[in-house]
Chains A and B, each alone.
Chain A
C-alpha cells in the first residue's frame, strides 16, 4: 500500500519545501554531466517523496525534511530518463537502497552510485553493520537465484530437481537471516536496525510475540517510543490485548453520518464488535444471521457495532443498505489501515469480539450457531 502511495507521489509535482531542510545529500559521481540525472525517492513515518536532479560535473545535491529515519532508493541514469520511468524497466541499472536520518551526507564515487563512499551518516554506517551481520537481503538472494536460472542450460531449466536445489538454498538463506536478525536485535538495542530486524522477523518470519516482546522491551526508550516502535508494539500486543477476560481496548470511529462513536459508549450492554467489509463474501453471508440474533436479543440488552475495513464510502453504504443492517456502523475508510483493526490485530475479515456489560472480552469469532448459543446462554 505504501509502495502504491510512492508511485502516486512520483507522478505528482514535487512539493516545494518551505522549511529549512533537515537533511542534505550532496555528492559527486565522476564528472558526469547532462543528460545524466539522479533520482531519490524516500519514505519516513508513512510519508513518501520523490526528487530528481541533473548532474553538473558529477555534482548533485538533495535536501528535504523528514521525521525520524527515511528508507530510500537512489537511482542514477546516464541517459537522464524521465522521472516516472525510474519505476519502469530503465530504472534498474545503478540503484541503491539505503536508510538515512536528519544528517548532512556526502557521497563520492569515480564511476557509479553502487560503489559510492558515504560520509556523514551514522544511520548509513549502522545499516552497513546490520547488512554485514545478517547477510544479503531477501531481495538480493532472489535476484541472484533468478540470475542463476537465467544462466542455466535449457535442460536444467526443465529439470525440477535443479529448481528444488535452488529452492533449498533460498530456504536455507531465509532461515539463517531469520536467526541472525534476532541475534542482531539482542546485541544492538540502540540501533534503529534492531527495530527493523524485529519488525521483519514478525511480519516476514512469523516470529511469535512471546519471543519478540522481551527483545523489544530491551530496546532503547527512544526506539520503543518512535513511530516504528509504537507500530510494532501494537502488533506484538494484539494477542494479549484481545485475550478472553481482557478489558476491550476502546476506539472511536465515525458513523455513516460522520458522528463519532466510541466502544465505551456501549458500557452496560452486551456488544458484539463485528469487523467486516463490503467486498468480503463470508462477511456478507453472515448478515442474515446477525439480523436474526439482533432481532431476538436487542430488547435483552444486546447490541452490535459494525466496524468496516472498507475504503470506499459508497460501497460501504451500499452494502449496509443491501443487507438491511440496522445497528450502528463505523469506519475511518482507511481500508486495512483501519485504526480499530490495528488495535485488535485481526488478520482477516469477518472477525468479531463479544464484549460484556463491564467492558471485558468474553468471546471471539462467534459466527452462525455459535453466536446464537452464546447469546442464549448469556441472555435467556
Chain B
C-alpha cells in the first residue's frame, strides 16, 4: 500500500494563539484502484500511546466524533459511507452513555467511483483526541489524495 506524506494546509498560517504543542495524531492517506472505475481511499490516523480518537458514530451529548467531508467534483463520486473498523466501545460514566473510540491506529475507508484516469480527491476531516487526563481542541485537517 502506498502511503503519502501528510501536510496540514499551511496557506493561512494562522497567527492566532492556538499552538499545538502536543500532536499525538498523524494522518496519512493512500488510494488503491480496485477496477477501472472504482477505488478505495484509505485515511489512516496513527495515534500516540495512551491517546484515542472517537468513532464516526457518537450519540449527542458526548465527545466530538470523527467526521469526513469530501469535496464534490465531476470526476468522482462517493460510493456509500466512510467505513471504519470495529471500535472499542465503553460506557463512560462522565457522559452516562456508550462511547466508541480507537487507539494506536485506525484506517477509515471510502469507496469511490471514478470517471477520470487521474483524479485528486480533496476534503476535510475533523477529529478530537483525548487521553485519560485531557482533551486537545477539535481539529480540522485538509486532505488531498491522488488516485492514479
CA distance A146 to B144 in the complex (A): 11
In the complex the two chains form, is B140's CB within 8 Å of A142's CB?
no
B104 at the interface (CB under 8 A from A): no
In the complex the two chains form, is B134's CB within 8 Å of A348's CB?
yes
A21 at the interface (CB under 8 A from B): no
The smallest C-beta distance from B5 to any residue of chain A, in angstroms, reads: 5
The smallest C-beta distance from B3 to any residue of chain A, in angstroms, reads: 7
Taking CB atoms and an 8 Å cut-off, the chain A residues in 13-67 that contact chain B are: 43, 46, 48
In the complex the two chains form, is B119's CB within 8 Å of A89's CB?
yes
Given the contacts A235-B17, A342-B17, A279 and B124 also touching, CB distance less than 8 Å: no
CA distance A36 to B121 in the complex (A): 23
CA distance A43 to B9 in the complex (A): 14
A88 at the interface (CB under 8 A from B): yes
Contact of B136 among A138, A146, A347 (CB under 8 A): A347
Taking CB atoms and an 8 Å cut-off, the chain A residues in 86-130 that contact chain B are: 87-90, 92, 97
B117 at the interface (CB under 8 A from A): no
A287 at the interface (CB under 8 A from B): yes
Closest to B72 in A: A88
CA distance A170 to B137 in the complex (A): 27
In the complex the two chains form, is A146's CB within 8 Å of B17's CB?
no
Given the contacts A206-B21, A279-B128, A349 and B134 also touching, CB distance less than 8 Å: yes
The smallest C-beta distance from A277 to any residue of chain B, in angstroms, reads: 7
* Chain A residues in 8 Å Cβ range of B62: 279
Shortest Cβ-Cβ A-B pairs, 9 listed: A284-B94, A336-B137, A228-B15, A88-B73, A348-B134, A142-B7, A88-B71, A280-B135, A89-B120
B76 at the interface (CB under 8 A from A): yes
B75 at the interface (CB under 8 A from A): yes
* Chain B residues in 8 Å Cβ range of A231: 15-17
The smallest C-beta distance from A210 to any residue of chain B, in angstroms, reads: 15
A269 at the interface (CB under 8 A from B): no
CA distance A279 to B142 in the complex (A): 22
CA distance A363 to B6 in the complex (A): 39
- 8 A-B contact pairs sorted by A residue (CB < 8 Å): A1-B18, A89-B73, A89-B75, A89-B121, A146-B5, A149-B2, A232-B17, A280-B63
A253 at the interface (CB under 8 A from B): no
Flag the segment in A2-10, A257-265, A290-298 that touches B.
Answer: A2-10
The size class of the interface chain A forms with chain B is 35 or more
> Chain A's interface: helix, strand, loop or mixed, by majority?
helix
In the complex the two chains form, is B63's CB within 8 Å of A279's CB?
yes
A199 at the interface (CB under 8 A from B): yes
CA distance A159 to B120 in the complex (A): 24
Give the size of the chain B interface in residues (CB under 8 angstroms): 56
Q: A203-B13, A336-B138 are in contact. List 8 more A-B contacts (CB 8 A).
A: A1-B140, A2-B12, A89-B75, A150-B2, A196-B15, A228-B15, A235-B17, A347-B19
CA distance A348 to B133 in the complex (A): 9
Closest to A309 in B: B137
* Chain A residues in 8 Å Cβ range of B7: 138-139, 142-143
In the complex the two chains form, is A349's CB within 8 Å of B135's CB?
yes
In the complex the two chains form, is A163's CB within 8 Å of B3's CB?
yes
CA distance A313 to B109 in the complex (A): 33
* Chain B residues in 8 Å Cβ range of A349: 134-135, 137
Contact of B20 among A87, A203, A282 (CB under 8 A): A203
In the complex the two chains form, is A235's CB within 8 Å of B134's CB?
no
CA distance A231 to B128 in the complex (A): 24
Closest to B133 in A: A282
Contacts from B to A (Cβ < 8 Å)? 2-7, 9-22, 61-64, 71-76, 92-96, 99, 119-122, 124, 128, 130-138, 140, 142, 144, 146, 148
* Chain B residues in 8 Å Cβ range of A287: 94
* Chain A residues in 8 Å Cβ range of B73: 85, 88-90
Closest to B144 in A: A92
Contact of A281 among B4, B9, B18, B94 (CB under 8 A): B94
In the complex the two chains form, is A4's CB within 8 Å of B135's CB?
no
CA distance A206 to B21 in the complex (A): 6
Given the contacts A202-B19, A347-B20, A139 and B9 also touching, CB distance less than 8 Å: yes
CA distance A234 to B19 in the complex (A): 11
Contact of A284 among B3, B74, B95, B119 (CB under 8 A): B95
* Chain B residues in 8 Å Cβ range of A281: 63, 92, 94-95, 99, 130, 135
* Chain B residues in 8 Å Cβ range of A367: 133
In the complex the two chains form, is A43's CB within 8 Å of B12's CB?
yes
The smallest C-beta distance from B77 to any residue of chain A, in angstroms, reads: 12
* Chain A residues in 8 Å Cβ range of B18: 1, 203, 336-337, 342
* Chain A residues in 8 Å Cβ range of B142: 3
Given the contacts A282-B130, A322-B96, A348-B135, A87 and B15 also touching, CB distance less than 8 Å: no
Contact of B14 among A2, A138, A139 (CB under 8 A): A2
B15, B22, B63, B122 interface centre (most CB from chain A within 10 Å): B15
